[in-house]
């Protein structure tokens, strides 16, 4: 029972981290139609900048400065790269971000080398916040939860209470009409891209110390954030939040509880072939939920796309 | 011919709680040139899209040569002998004019999804397409990319694609929208020429266009047909004048 | 090795004509391992160790066969089996007769298979495969062949040694096994279960599970399960980021028993664990102590760290490969006839290498029999630490000539 | 008029007529001759190995472009069809009773059938719509199959894959396919056959409608074609040829692994195809040649090959979205006007310094990298067959100077080139 609570917290941390990435991506994707493959690369840049700055100012300086730098870099990419490619259509845009992701990984290796850098948790947060049945919850995780929630509330405020937020919301629902209203759409795009990448940067700064800061960190996260926004539904910040949490919890629980395919198959009335290691179906029979935990989101996405292409909360088709 | 070419019976269509088409009955005989007119927002295009299977009807019945169209996808309706054009030019912009027409000939000539015939080895396709090009006066632009044609030429091509398949019911959605007077006259002549001997349904906003073209006219206002008659009678009908011409004149001035 | 030419006074013209003639008499060894991509760090570090070993242990000692030098030629396989096979072909075409590779058993399987076929089909330019690190037991069992030699102890041998140590530790009653979901992870788990069942039937295996390889972002849920199972020890074959992630999560979650590992050292892992791994992380491997017993080994490490301050001398088997190959070539009297070299290599006993202990290349399966140690992660003074972190490995237990009598299913066909 | 092989023939006119079919065959005959003499020009085994790799990738890239270029479907998981076809083939090669009687050259056919079977299953639900839904389903399926490859060991062989021996098949006219060269001709034959078939496919009613559906699915519906089925059939045919590529891979490497299925391979083929140019039939072929050389040859020269490859892609997508093929075809109007010759000199004047500028920039990058990452004391580096001290001042001065001068020369020549370009594309005696 206590374990369930612990898992809920763990899943929440994972989910909120995903949310910080998917929130920016869903804004970018639904407004500009750009499947930004490099989004996770900006997350990586956030972690590396955070690390570099933390060498001089400590962790907190990195937390403030790194996302700003990442956001500016993102806006620059939009202004001098994407905008140029935009005229050719969506596929070239996508290839552009694809190539950008490759390039950013190479640049990171060029500057910081190929090994994991020792980017650590700040001293003040190196204690156990509380324990549940022998499972310690580090203070840093609590801190991550607070940061993520604060960012979510901030986003919510900007989107629903400010003028720029209104424009963005209008652009989410009716991408083509905003220009007609006389707004400077290129500027809005650049701003949204910069803000979205800055969010990814924040995620990188706070995730880097716990999940490791290494050149492959973007690839590990890579496509899962697309899955999140597709499941959540385009243009829906709430959808992104719910989908992130859902994925966080599904993967956490699938890892925590050893559900075995054999049990399921037996329950369905199949007979276990004996001896199992000679059977052509042995791999199916021996599958357990931790083995497939991290591919469950992909299954979910395919099913959702087949049966409900607009996603859980989307207002329009993907 | 016993069954009418196209028959609508109590057709309604709602989007959410709003009823756009509120019970339309219409019979169009084979070989008739029929025009549907009405003010903006009357539901002309919606009705058009219902007939061609782009939208599903909420209730009622649509029959093509006596066969029910309910639940049929656009391509199935097309195969049953109904062809349509679009209000916004809808051609294959990255293909040549010739290829546009040839694509329209593939299914009617029975090529289906075949991957064992080479299109350029089929004289009937080439000749058929060239014949259509001749009819729509685009022979000179044969190898131009369709996207590079002038607007009037694109509209002509659109009509060419629509009639190419040899469908016996042709539906044209505002074929002269956005054209100058001389261009309009040109297109109307073209339509008259190429739909010889077929059933024609035209949706038009511009009344002048249809008076010279249609055998009968239906007036659609707020999702209902308020009159169906020969052009002169429609023009004279006080109800039509009140409901349509008034608003139309207002809208134009 | 390289012809050096200081630019200072040289004219632009002479720049263009730098000689490669010096390479002519070299014995080339193809190093096929990842030099780009996610495993580039390990691969690059390995390359440095080979280059350094060839230079220091062979070339500076006068070379082999009366003056021929070893030259390591690097081929980037991007850890892809396909690329490895292409690079193998390129290497063979350059007249290279010795292939070394170590990272990934998948690549090793592809290479040994391809080399076996190549040697059968092209008797005129056969090559030898010196596997220094791929530990899938199949390579010297079902899939063994005459051209493949393995210098690392394979997964079962290491597990045999590991379970010997566990068996003697009466405090351990419950063991949790976790690994990556692929052949090596499964082999480790299977070997652990079978050896523990044999040596300590009373030990309860409270968890035995696999997780997707390279895909897990957060290991916390697994760590929770380890804690919940009240295990006294954890066994894992994880490597790379998966090792680091798993280990950190388990330790952070309050686990303080031993975590027995295969690859929890160097390449940034030692530094990242730092203080937290002390007393908990154990590692099973071959090689020397830190600092090593022999003075020349200490010298060797110092020289290496001087040349590669950011590098780690993490794979002592690399010097074994270089030294044993040199001796076999000298004994065979030729470097071109690889069958003769292979015949000298199999059955060779070698004891005057850098590290302590005797090495024996078992002829039945071409598996090197050597001492296997259980190391603990602890403070180690520079330069014998890893990642310049002040932490490193010290020997806690040693199994001499580990598994010298372990069974093999190898049926080797000799030319 | 040259018979350029394009997927959207913008000026076919007379070519359709009987007599011109001879011209249509000429490129293929030349290609066949070229493939035949290639091993004579490059006889070394490693060259043949690289050519084999190229040929296999070409078949795959052409199959992929059937989807992307002709059908307008963007797939992130196309490697699985090639992989499954290849796995089907290695398993067949391991079935002794069957393979003993199967001449090896027929094997790719079975690979094709394997790829096609999977494409039929996946296509049945993924081709309902194009665009993002299709792309995301392909990503999900790709990820699932790749993950299955390590879980379902029976079929995919886990991490070490499944290997086989091609020489165990029935000898084909006495050829046992022991040597790379024999395999080369087998692969070259299949490359040519597949390319011809795929080209002809684009000329069939199905192929034409695939283009039509790509441009305007709705219009296609009103021409009697279900865009879903058109997409489905394109998808299945593409799956077939991807499977053929997988079969060739199985023959050449005699092993298939998880790598043949994963997202990296799928992403690579997307880049290859795009680099070559999706708008033209021969685009993927050029893309394959360039990319394979970058990956296999450049990676021997520098660790930073991935960096250069990334830059190349970004440059392509930003400045030449038509890919290399698009770049080549840009010259068609000038050639038709007979004025292409006027471009040669301006090109030389502009691109020779540009070439040196690129080399110079690359040299600076390599030097920075060397200074930053080489081991202490290892101060000498080799670049462009020169060896020098990367910590000395002179090489830096030389590199910076060469780069700067080359860049300046390029800039100076650019306006002349632009003028020449405009001139070459303007018909004589009047403005366009």
**Mind listing the pLDDT tens digit for each residue in B198-223?**
888 988 877 777 877 888 888 888 88
| Chain A residues inside the 8 Å CB shell of C215 | 220, 294-295
Inter-CA distances, C92 with B87, C22, C75, C98, C256, Å: 67, 20, 12, 9, 50
| Subunits close to B (at least 3 CB pairs below 8 A) | D
pLDDT at residue A268, rounded to an integer: 79
pLDDT at residue D429, rounded to an integer: 53
Tokens of D350: 């502009």
H helices present in C122-214, as ranges:
155-168, 183-199
Among A213-217, B113-117, C15-19, D279-283, the minimum mean pLDDT is found in: C15-19
Query: How many CB atoms neighbour CB A159 within 10 A?
Result: 16
Q: Domain limits of chain A?
A: 2-257
**Mind listing the pLDDT tens digit for each residue in B9-56?**
888 888 877 888 888 888 888 888 898 888 777 788 888 888 888 888
Q: How does D150-159 read in b/e, with b if 16+ C-beta sit within 10 Å? A: bbbbeebbbb
By Cβ distance, the residue of C85, C104, C311 closest to D253 is C85
Provide the 8-state DSSP code for C277: G
pLDDT at residue A46, rounded to an integer: 95
| Chain D residues inside the 8 Å CB shell of A310 | none
pLDDT at residue D129, rounded to an integer: 81
Q: Residue B245: is its pLDDT beyond 60?
A: no
Prior bond of C368 cis (ω within 30°): no
How close is the nearest chain D Cα to the Cα of A187, in Å? 20
DSSP states of B54-118: SS--SEEEEEETTEE-TT--HHHHHHTTEEE--SS----TTSBHHHHHHHHHHTTTT-TT-SSS-
Taking the C-alpha atoms of residue A238 and residue A185, their distance in angstroms, rounded to an integer, is 24
By Cβ distance, the residue of D179, D378, D382 closest to C121 is D179
ipTM of the complex, rounded to two decimals: 0.82
How close is the nearest chain C Cα to the Cα of A99, in Å? 15
Q: Residue A181: is its pLDDT beyond 70?
A: no
| Chain D residues inside the 8 Å CB shell of B91 | 216, 219
Share of chain B above pLDDT 70, in %: 95
| Chain A residues inside the 8 Å CB shell of C40 | 109, 114
Strand pairing class (B169-173; B82-84): parallel
Inter-CA distances, A278 with A263, A274, A275, Å: 19, 8, 6
Among A155-159, C211-215, C243-247, D349-353, the minimum mean pLDDT is found in: C211-215
Prior bond of A257 cis (ω within 30°): no
**Mind listing the pLDDT tens digit for each residue in B124-166?**
888 888 888 888 888 888 888 888 888 888 888 888 888 887 7
Query: How many CB atoms neighbour CB B203 within 10 A?
Result: 26
* Count of structural domains within chain B: 2
All structural domains of chain C, each given as residue ranges with its CATH number in brackets, are 22-134+317-353 (3.40.50.2300), 156-288+386-399 (3.40.50.2300)
Tell me whether A131 touches chain C (CB under 8 Å): yes
Cβ(C104)–Cβ(C75) under 8 Å?
Answer: no
Tell me whether C211 touches chain A (CB under 8 Å): yes
**Mind listing the pLDDT tens digit for each residue in A106-143?**
899 888 887 778 788 888 887 887 877 777 788 888 99
Chain B and chain D share a number of CB contacts under 8 A equal to: 110
Taking the C-alpha atoms of residue B157 and residue B95, their distance in angstroms, rounded to an integer, is 12
User: Which comes out higher in pLDDT, residue A254 or A49?
Assistant: A49
pLDDT at residue D143, rounded to an integer: 87
Tens of pLDDT along chain D (432 residues) come to 333 333 343 334 333 333 334 447 888 888 888 888 888 888 888 888 889 999 999 999 999 999 998 888 889 899 999 999 999 999 998 887 777 778 888 999 999 999 999 999 999 988 888 877 888 889 889 988 988 887 888 888 877 788 888 887 777 787 778 788 889 999 999 999 999 999 999 888 888 889 888 888 888 888 888 889 999 999 999 999 999 999 999 999 888 988 889 888 898 899 899 899 888 889 999 999 998 888 877 877 777 888 888 888 888 888 888 888 888 888 887 887 777 777 888 888 888 888 888 888 888 888 888 877 766 666 677 777 777 777 778 878 888 888 888 888 888 888 888 888 888 777 765 443
DSSP states of chain A: -HHHHHHHHHHHHHHHHHHHHHHHHHHHHHHH----TTHHHHHHHHHHHHHHHHHHH-HHHHHHHHHHHHHHHHHHHIIIIIHHHHTT-HHHHHHHHHHHHHHHHHHHHHHH-SSPB-----GGG-SEEEEETTEEEEHHHHHHHHHHHHHHHHHHHHHHHSHHHHHHHHHHH-TTHHHHTT--HHHHHHHHHHHHHHHHHHHHHHHHHHH-B-TTHHHHHTTHHHHHHHHH-TT-HHHHHHHHHHHHHHHHHHHHS--BHHHHHHHTTPPPPSSGGGSTTHHHHT-BHHHHGGGHHHHHHHHHHHH-TTTTT-SS--
By Cβ distance, the residue of C215, C252, C387 closest to A220 is C215
Tokens of A231: 């499941």
Length of chain A in terms of residues written? 318
At C14, the pLDDT band (50, 70, 90 cuts) reads: very low
- For the entire predicted model, the pTM comes to 0.85
By Cβ distance, the residue of A114, A136, A256 closest to C253 is A136
Q: Residue C330: is its pLDDT beyond 80?
A: yes
Q: Residue C256 — φ and ψ, nearest 5°?
A: -125, 10
Q: Are residues B22 and B73 in the same domain?
A: yes
Tokens of C240: 């790379």
Give me the residues of D, 312-351, that contact A with CB < 8 A. Answer: 313-314, 317-318, 321
Domain stops at, among B166, B191, B220: B166
Q: Is the dihedral of CA D116, D118, D120, D123 positive or negative?
A: negative
Taking the C-alpha atoms of residue A218 and residue A237, their distance in angstroms, rounded to an integer, is 22
Among B247-251, C39-43, D224-228, the minimum mean pLDDT is found in: B247-251
Q: Are residues B19 and B48 in the same domain?
A: yes
Q: Which residues pair with C72 in a beta bridge?
A: C29
Taking the C-alpha atoms of residue A138 and residue A127, their distance in angstroms, rounded to an integer, is 6
By Cβ distance, the residue of D161, D377, D378 closest to C81 is D161
**For the structural domain made of D13-289, what CATH number should be given?**
1.10.3470
**Mind listing the pLDDT tens digit for each residue in A90-105?**
778 888 888 898 899 8
**Mind listing the pLDDT tens digit for each residue in B46-101?**
888 888 888 888 888 898 888 888 888 888 888 888 888 887 778 888 888 888 88
Name the residue in chain D with its Cα closest to that of A307: D125
> With an 8 Å Cβ cutoff, are C212 and D150 in contact?
yes
pLDDT at residue B22, rounded to an integer: 86
| Chain C residues inside the 8 Å CB shell of D50 | 86, 90
Mean pLDDT of C372-398: 91
| Subunits close to D (at least 3 CB pairs below 8 A) | A, B, C
Among A15-19, B248-252, D354-358, the minimum mean pLDDT is found in: B248-252
pLDDT at residue D79, rounded to an integer: 94
Strand pairing class (B59-64; B199-204): unpaired
**Mind listing the pLDDT tens digit for each residue in C258-298?**
999 999 888 888 888 888 889 899 999 988 888 888 899 99
By Cβ distance, the residue of C37, C89, C308 closest to D49 is C89
User: Which comes out higher in pLDDT, residue A239 or A269?
Assistant: A239
At B247, the pLDDT band (50, 70, 90 cuts) reads: low
**Mind listing the pLDDT tens digit for each residue in C338-363?**
999 999 999 999 988 888 888 999 99
Mutation site, C217, C263, C267, interface A, largest A CB count within 10 A: C217
- How far does Cα C77 stand from its chain's mean position? 17
> With an 8 Å Cβ cutoff, are D388 and C76 in contact?
no
Q: Are residues B5 and B37 in the same domain?
A: yes
Cβ(A201)–Cβ(A66) under 8 Å?
Answer: yes
Residues whose CB is less than 8 angstroms from the CB of residue D85 and which lie 6 or more positions away in sequence, other chains included: D110, D111, D112, D113, D114, D115, D242, D243, D244, D245, D246, D247
Q: Are residues B253 and B211 in the same domain?
A: yes
Mean pLDDT of A256-283: 75
Cβ(B55)–Cβ(B46) under 8 Å?
Answer: yes
pLDDT at residue A91, rounded to an integer: 77
Query: How many CB atoms neighbour CB C364 within 10 A?
Result: 14
Chain A and chain C share a number of CB contacts under 8 A equal to: 103
> With an 8 Å Cβ cutoff, are D300 and C93 in contact?
no
Taking the C-alpha atoms of residue C255 and residue D93, their distance in angstroms, rounded to an integer, is 50
Q: Residue A306: is its pLDDT beyond 90?
A: no
| Chain D residues inside the 8 Å CB shell of C5 | 380, 387-388
Q: Residue B83 — φ and ψ, nearest 5°?
A: -130, 145
> With an 8 Å Cβ cutoff, are A102 and D313 in contact?
yes
At C150, the pLDDT band (50, 70, 90 cuts) reads: very high
Tell me whether D132 touches chain A (CB under 8 Å): yes
At A244, the pLDDT band (50, 70, 90 cuts) reads: very high
Q: Are residues B213 and B157 in the same domain?
A: no
Is there a domain that residue B183 lies in? no
| D32 half-sphere exposure, CB direction, 13 A CA radius | 11
Is there a domain that residue B70 lies in? yes
Q: Are residues B74 and B90 in the same domain?
A: no
Chains B and C touch (3+ CB pairs under 8 A): no
- How far does Cα B209 stand from its chain's mean position? 14
Name the residue in chain D with its Cα closest to that of C51: D375
**Mind listing the pLDDT tens digit for each residue in C93-122?**
888 999 999 988 889 989 999 999 999 988
Return the closest-CA partner of residue C249 out of A112, A114, A257, A252. Answer: A252
Tell me whether A110 touches chain C (CB under 8 Å): no
Domain range for residue B130? 82-166
Q: Are residues B217 and B234 in the same domain?
A: yes
Strand pairing class (D162-163; D255-256): antiparallel
> With an 8 Å Cβ cutoff, are C2 and D254 in contact?
no
Q: Residue C30 — φ and ψ, nearest 5°?
A: -85, 125
Name the residue in chain D with its Cα closest to that of C83: D296
Name the residue in chain D with its Cα closest to that of B100: D212
Inter-CA distances, B131 with A278, B102, B105, B164, B194, Å: 68, 11, 11, 9, 11
Cβ(A9)–Cβ(A141) under 8 Å?
Answer: yes
Taking the C-alpha atoms of residue D231 and residue D124, their distance in angstroms, rounded to an integer, is 10
Tokens of A286: 């021996």
Q: Residue B249: is its pLDDT beyond 70?
A: no
Mean pLDDT of A296-316: 82
| Chain D residues inside the 8 Å CB shell of A92 | 274, 317, 321
Residue B135 sits in a domain whose CATH number is 3.40.50.300
């Amino acid at each position: 029972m206590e374990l369930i609570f612990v898992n809920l917290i763990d899943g929440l941390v994972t989910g909120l981290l995903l949310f910080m990435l998917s929130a920016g991506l869903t804004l970018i994707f639904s407004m500009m139609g750009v499947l930004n493959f490099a989004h996770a690369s900006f997350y990586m840049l956030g972690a590396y900048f955070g690390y570099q700055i933390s060498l001089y100012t400590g962790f907190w300086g990195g937390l403030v400065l790194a996302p700003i730098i990442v956001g500016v870099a993102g806006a620059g990419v939009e202004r001098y790269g994407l905008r140029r490619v935009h005229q050719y259509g969506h596929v070239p845009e996508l290839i552009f971000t694809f190539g950008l992701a490759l390039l950013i990984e190479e640049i990171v290796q060029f500057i910081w080398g190929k090994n994991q850098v020792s980017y650590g948790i700040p001293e003040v947060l190196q204690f156990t916040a509380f324990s549940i049945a022998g499972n310690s919850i580090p203070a840093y995780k609590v801190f991550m939860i607070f940061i993520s929630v604060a960012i979510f509330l901030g986003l919510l405020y900007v989107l629903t209470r400010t003028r720029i937020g209104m424009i963005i919301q209008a652009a989410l629902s009716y991408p083509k009409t905003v220009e007609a209203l006389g707004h400077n759409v290129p500027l809005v795009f650049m701003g949204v891209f910069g803000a979205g990448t800055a969010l990814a940067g924040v995620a990188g700064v706070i995730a880097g110390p716990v999940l490791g800061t290494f050149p492959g960190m973007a690839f590990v996260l890579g496509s899962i954030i697309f899955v999140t926004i597709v499941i959540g539904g385009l243009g829906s910040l709430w959808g992104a939040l719910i989908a992130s949490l859902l994925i966080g919890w599904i993967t956490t629980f699938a890892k925590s509880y050893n559900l075995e395919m054999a049990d399921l198959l037996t329950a369905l009335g199949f007979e276990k072939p004996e001896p199992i290691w000679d059977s052509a179906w042995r791999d199916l029979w021996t599958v357990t939920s931790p083995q497939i935990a991290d591919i469950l989101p992909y299954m979910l996405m395919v099913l959702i796309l087949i049966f409900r292409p607009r996603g859980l909360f989307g207002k329009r088709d993907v | 011919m016993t069954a009418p070419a196209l028959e609508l019976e109590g057709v309604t269509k709602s989007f959410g709680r709003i009823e756009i088409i509120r019970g339309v009955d219409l019979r169009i005989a084979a070989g008739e040139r029929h025009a549907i007119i009405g003010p903006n927002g009357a539901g002309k295009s919606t009705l058009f899209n219902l007939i061609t299977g782009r939208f599903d009807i909420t209730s009622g019945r649509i029959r093509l040569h006596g066969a029910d169209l309910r639940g049929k996808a656009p391509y199935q309706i097309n195969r049953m002998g109904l062809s349509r054009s679009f209000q916004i030019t809808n051609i294959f912009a990255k293909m040549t004019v010739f290829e546009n027409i040839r694509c329209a000939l593939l299914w009617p000539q029975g090529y289906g999804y075949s991957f064992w015939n080479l299109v350029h080895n089929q004289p009937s396709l080439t000749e058929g397409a060239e014949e259509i090009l001749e009819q729509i006066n685009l022979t000179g632009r044969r190898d131009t990319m369709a996207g590079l044609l002038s607007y009037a030429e694109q509209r002509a091509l659109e009509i060419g694609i629509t009639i190419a398949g040899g469908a016996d019911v042709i539906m044209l959605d505002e074929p002269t929208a956005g054209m100058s007077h001389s261009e309009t006259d040109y297109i109307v002549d073209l339509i008259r020429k190429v739909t010889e001997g077929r059933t024609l349904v035209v949706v038009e906003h511009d009344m002048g266009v249809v008076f010279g073209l249609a055998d009968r006219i239906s007036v659609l206002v707020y999702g209902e047909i308020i009159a169906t008659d020969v052009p002169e009678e429609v023009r004279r009908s006080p109800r039509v004048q009140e409901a349509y011409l008034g608003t139309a004149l207002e809208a134009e001035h | 090795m390289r012809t050096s030419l200081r630019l200072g006074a040289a004219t632009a013209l002479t720049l263009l004509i730098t000689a490669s003639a010096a390479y002519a008499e070299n014995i080339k060894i193809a190093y096929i391992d990842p030099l780009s991509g996610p495993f580039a760090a390990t691969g690059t570090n390995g390359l440095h160790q080979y280059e350094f070993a060839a230079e220091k242990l062979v070339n500076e000692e006068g070379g082999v066969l009366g003056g021929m030098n070893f030259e390591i030629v690097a081929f980037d396989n991007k850890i892809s089996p396909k690329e490895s096979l292409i690079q193998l072909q390129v290497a063979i075409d350059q007249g290279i007769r010795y292939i070394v590779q170590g990272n990934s058993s998948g690549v090793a399987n592809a290479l040994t298979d391809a080399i076996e076929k190549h040697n059968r089909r092209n008797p005129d330019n056969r090559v030898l495969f010196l596997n220094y690190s791929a530990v899938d037991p199949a390579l010297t069992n079902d899939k063994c062949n005459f051209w493949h030699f393995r210098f690392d102890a394979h997964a079962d041998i290491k597990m045999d040694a590991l379970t010997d140590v566990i068996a003697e530790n009466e405090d351990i009653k419950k063991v949790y096994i976790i690994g990556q979901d692929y052949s090596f992870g499964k082999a480790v788990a299977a070997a652990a279960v079978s050896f523990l069942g044999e040596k300590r039937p009373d030990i309860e295996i409270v968890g035995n599970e696999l997780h997707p390889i390279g895909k897990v972002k957060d290991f916390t849920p697994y760590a929770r399960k380890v804690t919940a199972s009240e295990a006294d020890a954890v066994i894992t074959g994880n490597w790379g980021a998966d090792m680091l992630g798993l280990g950190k999560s388990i330790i952070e979650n309050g686990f303080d028993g031993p975590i027995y590992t295969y690859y929890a050292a160097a390449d940034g892992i030692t530094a990242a664990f730092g203080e937290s791994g002390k007393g908990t992380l154990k590692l099973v491997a071959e090689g020397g102590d830190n600092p090593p017993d022999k003075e020349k080994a200490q010298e060797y490490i110092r020289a290496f760290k001087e040349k590669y301050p950011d590098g780690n001398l993490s794979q002592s088997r690399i010097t074994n490969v270089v030294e044993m190959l040199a001796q076999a070539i000298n004994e065979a009297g030729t470097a071109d006839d690889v069958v003769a070299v292979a015949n000298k290599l199999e059955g060779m006993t070698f004891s005057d290498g850098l590290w302590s202990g005797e090495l024996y290349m078992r002829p039945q399966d071409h598996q090197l029999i050597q001492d296997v140690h259980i190391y603990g992660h602890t403070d180690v003074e520079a330069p014998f630490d890893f990642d310049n972190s002040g932490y490193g490995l010290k020997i806690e237990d040693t199994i001499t000539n580990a598994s010298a009598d372990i069974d093999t299913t190898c049926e080797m066909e000799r030319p | 008029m040259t018979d350029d092989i394009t997927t959207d023939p913008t000026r076919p006119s007379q070519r359709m007529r009987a007599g011109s079919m001879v011209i249509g065959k000429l490129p293929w005959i030349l290609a066949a001759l070229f493939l035949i003499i290639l091993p004579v020009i490059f006889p070394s085994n490693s060259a043949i190995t690289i050519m084999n790799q190229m040929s296999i990738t070409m078949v795959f890239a052409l199959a992929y472009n059937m989807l992307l270029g002709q059908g307008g479907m963007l797939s992130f998981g196309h490697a699985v069809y090639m992989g499954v076809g290849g796995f089907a083939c290695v398993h067949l090669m391991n079935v002794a009773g069957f393979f003993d009687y199967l001449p090896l050259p027929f094997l790719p056919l079975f690979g094709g059938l394997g790829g096609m079977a999977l494409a039929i299953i996946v296509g049945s639900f993924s081709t309902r719509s194009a665009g993002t839904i299709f792309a995301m389903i392909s990503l999900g399926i790709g990820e699932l199959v790749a993950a299955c490859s390590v879980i379902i060991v029976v079929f995919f062989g886990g991490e070490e894959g499944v290997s086989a021996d091609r020489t165990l098949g029935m000898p084909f006219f006495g050829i046992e396919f022991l040597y790379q060269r024999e395999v080369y001709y087998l692969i070259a034959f299949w490359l040519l056959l597949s390319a011809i078939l795929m080209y002809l496919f684009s000329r069939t009613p199905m192929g034409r409608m695939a283009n039509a559906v790509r441009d305007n699915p709705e219009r296609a519906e009103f021409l009697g074609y279900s865009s879903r089925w058109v997409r489905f059939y394109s998808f299945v045919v593409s799956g077939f040829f991807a499977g053929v590529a997988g079969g060739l891979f199985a023959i050449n490497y005699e092993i298939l692994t998880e790598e043949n299925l994963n997202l990296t391979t799928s992403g690579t083929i997307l880049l290859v195809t795009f680099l070559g140019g999706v708008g033209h039939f021969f685009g993927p072929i050029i893309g394959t040649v360039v990319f394979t050389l970058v990956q296999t040859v450049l990676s021997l020269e520098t660790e930073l090959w991935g960096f250069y490859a990334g830059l190349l892609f970004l440059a392509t997508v930003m400045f030449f979205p038509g890919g290399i093929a698009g770049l080549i075809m840009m010259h068609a109007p000038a050639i038709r006007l007979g004025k292409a010759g006027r471009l040669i000199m301006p090109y030389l004047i502009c691109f020779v310094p540009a070439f040196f500028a690129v080399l110079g920039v690359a040299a600076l990058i390599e030097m920075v990298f060397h200074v930053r990452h080489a081991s202490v004391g290892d101060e000498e580096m080799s670049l462009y067959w020169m060896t020098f001290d990367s910590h000395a001042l002179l090489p830096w001065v030389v590199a910076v100077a060469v780069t700067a001068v080359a860049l300046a020369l390029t800039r100076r020549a650019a306006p002349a080139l632009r003028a020449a370009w405009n001139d070459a594309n303007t018909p004589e005696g009047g403005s366009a």
